[in-house]
Structure formats: structure tokens, C-alpha cells
Amino acid sequence: MCYDIKASVESQLKRAERKGDRKAVNEIMERLVPLTDLPLFHAMGFNHPNLLIYTDRSPEFPEVATWGLIPHWVRDEAQQKKIWNSTLNARGETIFEKNSFRAAAKNSRCLIYVDGFYEHHHFNKETYPFFIHRKDKEPMILAGLYNEWNNPDTGGKLTSFSIVTTVGNSMMGQIHNNPKLDGPRMPVILPDELADKWLIEYKDELDKRSIEELVREYPATELSAYTVDKLRGKNSKGNSEEASKPFYYAELPELEFE
């Protein structure tokens, strides 16, 4: 699962900056960033924050989108609010089958650049949050799906997205041990050199297989994880820089990652 992330302005702009187009970056800072909720030191999907995404129609210049994909067939705001929380994540193994995601899987894929994500570990009936990030401190590139929905109640348009997930690696196998789940999950983190392949044009079955091949676990050896202070409740750090700082729990046995 992936319901909690950290996304700084620097990470979100990493793709836009790769061509060294300072004018474009300045335009994003002036025109788009104010429309987002950045910086997000801890963002929970159920609050539906606004982030920047890079789409197949705009690979280098981002768009503002809300977390929680709204399919094209949603009739009105009442149905939107009913489905919103169930489309924060899209199970990668079935994106071409599920009614909520199959159109986007074919025609509307995107990339979401984040600093890392949070996941909860269960121990003695308590939960302990971990922050997971790349060892090299570079942004994670998450595979996503998006859709532009026309709101019949207001006449406005809303771009929204979902984060694609896959089977968890060995690290997530230790951290994401929720007894209610069949097994650990994690977001699809794309290696830098493969990110552009997620945005390919879908024309035939070969393209579908190419996309499906990207839905796999990210190597645990390239990730780091540590516990942070509680993310839920009145004593949580909320959306503050403290949210992703290491926090030690004396009662929690140390996990040994490979």
C-alpha cells in the first residue's frame, strides 16, 4: 500500500530541471506550485492533497493533480466522494482489468516524484511508522495513473491520480506486516533509466506487456528505512519537517534489512 508520502518542491521539480530549462522551472514555481499543497513533509492520501505529476501528454512540464483517481464514468460529486478513497492506489497486477483503472492504464499514465513514503509496522497490537527512501537520497519516481474528470455539477475539470502498487520486496516484507493483508505491498518505484518507458504510447499487446513488465518490486538493497514519530493522532507531527526525522522506540525490536 502507499497512503502516506513525503514530497518536497525540490523532488517534484527534479524531472523538469533535468533539461536545465531555468525559464520553465521558474514558470512552474510561479504558476503551478502555488496551486499545490507543497511542501508535503507528511501527506496522507485520504486528505487528497494536490501534487505535481508528469503525464504522457506532458512528460517534461508537470500538471497539478489531486491524489485519488476519479474515473471518467463518475456521474457527480456525490459518487466522486464515495469512490475517492478507494482509488488512492491501483494494484499493478490488475490495472488493465479493473473498471476504475483500465482506461487510464491504456491512455493516461504518469510519474510522481517524491522524497519517499511511509509505511506502518505492526508489533504487539501497536503500529510503528517507518520512512522509506532511496539510499542515494535521490527522488523516488512512482508509477501512476491519472484522469481528467469533468464535474457536471460545476462545469469544472479536475485532474486526479492514483499510485500503482506491486508486491513488496524483502524490506517491505519485514515492515509492512499488517495481519489483515495477504502479503506486503509497496509503490511501483521506477528506476531512473526506465521511467520514460512508463509513458509510452499504448498501441498493441506488445506495449501492454512492456508496461506490465515495469510493475515489479524495487531492490531492497537500494532503499533505506527507519522509524519516525507517530503519523496519526493528536500528538503527531503533522505536515512538519519533524515528520520524517528518525524516532526511536525502545520497545520495538530492531529490524534487520538485507
Task: Report pLDDT digits (tens) over 170-198.
Answer: 999 999 988 888 889 999 999 999 999 99
Cβ(252)–Cβ(123) under 8 Å?
yes
Quote the pLDDT of residue 181.
82
List C-alpha distances in Å: 166 to 72, 162, 172: 24, 13, 11
Structure confidence by residue, pLDDT tens digits, 45-103: 999 999 999 999 999 999 999 999 999 999 999 999 999 999 999 999 999 999 999 99
Sequence-separated (6 or more) residues with CB below 8 Å from residue 79: none
pTM of the predicted structure, to 2 decimals: 0.96
In degrees, rounded to 5, the angle at the alpha carbon of residue 163 between the alpha carbons of residues 168 and 245 is: 70
| pLDDT greater than 80 at residue 211 | yes
Any idea which of 6-15, 86-95, 137-146, 170-179 has the lowest mean pLDDT?
170-179
What mean pLDDT value characterizes the chain? 94
Structurally, what CATH architecture does the domain formed by 4-117+137-167+185-221 represent?
Answer: Alpha-Beta Complex (3.90)
pLDDT at residue 19 in the model: 75
**pLDDT band, very low/low/confident/very high, at 127 (cuts 50, 70, 90):** very high
Distance CA 145, CA 199 (A): 10
Instruction: Answer positive or negative: Cα dihedral of 9, 11, 16, 18.
Output: positive
* Max Cα–Cα distance, the chain, nearest Å: 54
Vertex 151, ends 147 and 157: CA angle to 5°?
Answer: 55
Of 45, 14, 12, nearest to 165 by C-alpha is 45
Amino acid identity of residue 67, one-letter, is W
When pLDDT is averaged across residues 102-108 and rounded to a whole number, the result is: 97
What is the share, in percent, of the chain residues with pLDDT greater than 90?
A: 86
Could you tell me the residue ranges of all domains in the chain? 4-117+137-167+185-221
Residue 73: count other Cβ atoms within 10 Å of its Cβ.
Answer: 12
Q: Which one is predicted more confidently, 237 or 190? A: 190
